[in-house]
Structure 1
Amino acid sequence: MEQRILGRTGRPVSVIGLGTWQLGADWGDVREEEARAVLEAAYEGGVRFFDTADVYGDGLSERRIGSFLHERGIDDVVVATKAGRRMPQTPQIYSLDNLRAWTDRSRAHLRVQTLDLVQLHCPPTAVYGTDAVFDALDTLVEEGRIARYGVSVETRAEALTAIARPNVASVQLILNMMRLGPLAEVLPAARAAGVGIIVRVPLASGLLSGRYDENTTFAANDHRTFNRDGSAFDVGETFSGVDFATGLEAVRRLAPLVPDGATMAQFALRWIIDQPGVSTVIPGARTPEQVRTNAAAADLAPLPAETVAAVEAVYRELIAPQLGDRW
C-alpha cells in the first residue's frame, strides 16, 4: 500500500489506516476474537497506522492493540492514541501531571516505553491557545514518554491554531464528501507547515458505505442511536452532523459516480486520499471483510476532475445549507 510521511513525526504511514473506536465502545459490542481478526486483517492488508484513544472502552481498544502488536512481534505500525476525554472537559485538566498520568496509562496498555503519537482529544477550544499545555507536551517528549504529539479537532479554527504551533506534528479532523469545510484553508496551511493530516469519520459514520436506508436501526449503545442530537458529545462526530435523511439522499445522488468495480465506501475513501495534504485516513471496521474492502480503496485510480466537481455539487446543494460554517 502507498505510504506517506505523517507530518512532523517523520514516520511513514499507510494512506489507509485503521480507526479503532469500534474495538472499544460506542458502536455496539465487539468480542475479543472479532477485534483480533480485524487487527490481523488490517496488518495483512498493508495497514501501518492504527488510531485509538484512552477513552475507547476506557482503554479496551488500546489494550487490544497492545496485545496484538506485542504477541505478533510487530514493530512497523505507527500507533496514535489520544488523551483527555476521560475527565470532565475544562481547560484546567490539561496539566503536566494529568498528561503524564494519562500517557503513562496508555504506555502500559500499549506495552511500549514511548508512545509514537499522542493527540489531545478534542479538548476545549481555549486549550489550543494555552502555551502551558504545549510546554507540558514538550516535557513529555523530553522525558521519552512520547515521541511526538498532535491534536484531534472539531473545528477549522482549532485546526489552524494548532498548525501554527511549532511542535504540533499532526492534526486529526473530519473530512469526507459530506464535510468539505477543511479543504479551502486547513489542508493548504498544514501542507505549508509540514503538519500531517489524519482524517477521521471518512464514511460519515457509515452513511457513505451506501448500506443504510430509512429502515436501518442501530444498537442502543451505538452512538448513531444515542448521539444524533449531540447529547453525549459533539454531534459532528455522528453522521458528520448531517441529518440522517439528508445524508441518505446525498448518498443516492453520489452513487452513480462510483467507479466501475468499486464500492461506495471505496469511492468515498479514494476521494479523501486524493485531497492534497492528507497523510492517512482512518476508517473503522467491525469485520475483517470491511478492513479488506477499505484497504483496497488505495488501489483505485485517482478520481477524474468531473467526478470531483459532481461531488462538490451534491455537497453545495444538500449538505452545505445544513452545516453552514459550524465545522
Structure 2
Amino acid sequence: MRQNILGSSTVRVSELAFGAAGIGNLFTPVSDPDAALAIEAAWESGVRYFDTAPHYGLGLSEHRLGEALRARPRDEYVLSTKVGRILEPAPQASGDDLANGFAVPACYRRRWDFSAAGVRHSIEESLNRLGLDRIDIAYLHDPDDHADQALAEAYPELARLRAEGVLGAIGVGMNQPDLLARLIRETDVDVVLLAGRYSLLDQRGLAELLPLAAERGVGVVVGGVFNSGLLADPKPGATFDYTAAPAELLARALELKAVCERHGVPLRAAALRFPFGHPAVAGVLVGMRSAAEATDGAAMLLHPVPVALWGELKERGLIPPEVPTPEEVR
C-alpha cells in the first residue's frame, strides 16, 4: 500500500489508516479475539497507520491496539492517539458508557483538560495503556469548546514533547474545518485529522482548510469518508453523521451509487479514493471493527476508479465542478 509523508514532518503513513474507535466497542461490543483479528487483517492488507484515543471505550481501544501491535516491529508502523480528555476512576459508577457511544462499563469518567500538565499526563497514561515506547502522532482531540486553552497551553506542551523526541508529529483532530484552519494559521502543527467534512456528500473542508493546509505544508488525514454509513451502503435507515440520513441526502447517495455502478466501481471505493484528489490529503482513516471490514477497506481503496467516473459525477451535479478529483486510474 502506498505511503505518504505528513506535510513537512518526517512521519510517513499508509494511505489507509485503521480507525480504532470500533475496537473500543463503539455502539456495540467487539470481542478481544475479533479486535485482534481486525488488526491482523489490516496489517496483512498493508495498513501501517493505526489511530486511537483514550476516549474510545474509556481506554479499551488503546489497550487492545497496544496488545496487538507490541509483537510488530516498532519502526514499521505509525501510531497516533489523542489528548484533551483525562480518564479518572469512577468507583461509584454503574451501568455502561453508551451515553457517550461506547458499550463498556462506566468505570471511568472523562474530564476535559487541555492544560500543559493535562497533556503530559494524558500522553503518559496512553503510553501505559498501549504498553509501547513511543507515540508517533498526538492530536488535540475535539477542542471545539476549549480552543483558547488548547492554543495557549496544550499546543505548546505538545510542541515541547515533539522537540524532546517523545512525539514525531503533532496535530488536531475534529469535524469543524473552520477551527482547524485557525489552528493551522496560529500554530506549527504537522497534520490535521478532518472528520466527515471532505467526502462525496460534504466538501466543506475545501472552502479554506485544505488550500491552507497545502500552502502551509500541513498534512491532512480525512476521516468519516462514509459519513458514518450512508456512503458505505445507502438505503432507508442509513445514517449520516450518526443520525438518520435526511431523504434528500439518501436520494443523492443512491444517485452516486448508480453512477459508480455504471462504471463498475463500488460506491465505497469511490468514497475512499475521492479525498486523494486534493494534494494536501495524505491518507484516509476508516473505522474497522472486524477482519472483514479491514480487508474490505483495503480492497476498496485499491479498486481501480476510472477518470470518467469523476467526470460523470460533475456532469450530473453530484459533486461541484471545482472540486479536485483523482486523475490517475489505480
TM-score by length of 2: 0.80
Instruction: Tell me if the contact between 1:103 and 1:145 (Cα under 8 Å) persists in the aligned partners.
Output: no
| Structure 1 Cα separation of the partners of residues 80 and 175 of structure 2 | 18
Deviates more, 1:118-127 or 1:20-29: 118-127
Instruction: Tell me if the contact between 1:266 and 1:293 (Cα under 8 Å) persists in the aligned partners.
Output: no
Q: 1:294 aligns with which of 294, 297, 307?
A: 297
Which protein has the bigger strand share?
Answer: 2
Task: Tell me how far 1:142 sits from its aligned partner.
Answer: 3.6
Give the aligned residue type for 1:294: G
Match of 1:80 in 2: 80
Instruction: Tell me if the contact between 1:127 and 1:133 (Cα under 8 Å) persists in the aligned partners.
Output: no
Match of 2:105 in 1: none
| Structure 1 Cα separation of the partners of residues 280 and 177 of structure 2 | 15
Deviates more, 1:297-306 or 1:149-158: 297-306
| Structure 1 Cα separation of the partners of residues 312 and 179 of structure 2 | 27
Report the CA distance shift for 1:287/1:150 in structure 2 as closer, same or farther (over 3 A).
same
Deviates more, 1:153-162 or 1:120-129: 120-129
| Structure 2 Cα separation of the partners of residues 243 and 88 of structure 1 | 31
Task: Tell me how far 1:271 sits from its aligned partner.
Answer: 1.2
**2:228 aligned counterpart, secondary structure:** coil
Give the aligned residue type for 1:266: A
Match of 1:28 in 2: 28
The reply on whether 1:188 has 2:211 as its aligned counterpart is yes
Give the aligned residue type for 1:138: A
Q: 2:190 aligns with which of 150, 169, 180?
A: 169
| Structure 2 Cα separation of the partners of residues 244 and 205 of structure 1 | 13
| Structure 2 Cα separation of the partners of residues 26 and 114 of structure 1 | 25
Report the CA distance shift for 1:88/1:107 in structure 2 as closer, same or farther (over 3 A).
closer
Task: Tell me how far 1:60 sits from its aligned partner.
Answer: 0.9
Give the aligned residue type for 2:192: V
Deviates more, 1:301-310 or 1:186-195: 301-310
Calculate percent identity across the aligned residue pairs.
Answer: 29
Give the aligned residue type for 1:9: S
Instruction: Tell me if the contact between 1:114 and 1:144 (Cα under 8 Å) persists in the aligned partners.
Output: no
Match of 2:235 in 1: 213
Match of 1:232 in 2: none
Task: Tell me how far 1:94 sits from its aligned partner.
Answer: 1.0
Deviations 1:224-281 (A, max 9, x none): 6xxxxxxxxxxx8426xx7343332222111122154432211210112233211110
Query: Pairwise mapping of residues 226-245 of structure 1 onto structure 2 (< 5 A)?
Result: 237-238=241-242, 243-245=245-247
| Structure 1 Cα separation of the partners of residues 115 and 146 of structure 2 | 13
The reply on whether 1:155 has 2:176 as its aligned counterpart is yes
Match of 1:219 in 2: none
Instruction: Tell me if the contact between 2:259 and 2:309 (Cα under 8 Å) persists in the aligned partners.
Output: no
Query: Pairwise mapping of residues 238-253 of structure 1 onto structure 2 (< 5 A)?
Result: 238=242, 243-253=245-255
Give the aligned residue type for 1:279: A
Match of 1:319 in 2: none
The reply on whether 1:178 has 2:180 as its aligned counterpart is no
Task: Tell me how far 1:136 sits from its aligned partner.
Answer: 1.6
Deviations 1:49-100 (A, max 9, x none): 11111110111111111111112445311111112134444xxx31111111
Task: Tell me how far 1:17 sits from its aligned partner.
Answer: 1.2
Instruction: Tell me if the contact between 1:271 and 1:303 (Cα under 8 Å) persists in the aligned partners.
Output: no
| Structure 2 Cα separation of the partners of residues 64 and 32 of structure 1 | 7
Match of 1:54 in 2: 54
Match of 1:273 in 2: 276
Match of 1:110 in 2: 130
| Structure 2 Cα separation of the partners of residues 28 and 107 of structure 1 | 26
Report the CA distance shift for 1:64/1:244 in structure 2 as closer, same or farther (over 3 A).
farther
Aligned residues: 292
TM-score by length of 1: 0.81
Instruction: Tell me if the contact between 1:162 and 1:171 (Cα under 8 Å) persists in the aligned partners.
Output: no
Give the aligned residue type for 1:213: K
Task: Tell me how far 1:24 sits from its aligned partner.
Answer: 0.2
Match of 2:317 in 1: 313
Task: Tell me how far 1:215 sits from its aligned partner.
Answer: 5.2
Report the CA distance shift for 1:58/1:196 in structure 2 as closer, same or farther (over 3 A).
same
| Structure 2 Cα separation of the partners of residues 143 and 40 of structure 1 | 32
| Structure 2 Cα separation of the partners of residues 306 and 286 of structure 1 | 30
| Structure 1 Cα separation of the partners of residues 246 and 51 of structure 2 | 26
Instruction: Tell me if the contact between 1:107 and 1:115 (Cα under 8 Å) persists in the aligned partners.
Output: yes
Taking only aligned residues, the RMSD between alpha carbons, in angstroms, comes to 2.4
Instruction: Tell me if the contact between 2:11 and 2:136 (Cα under 8 Å) persists in the aligned partners.
Output: no
Deviates more, 1:124-133 or 1:173-182: 124-133
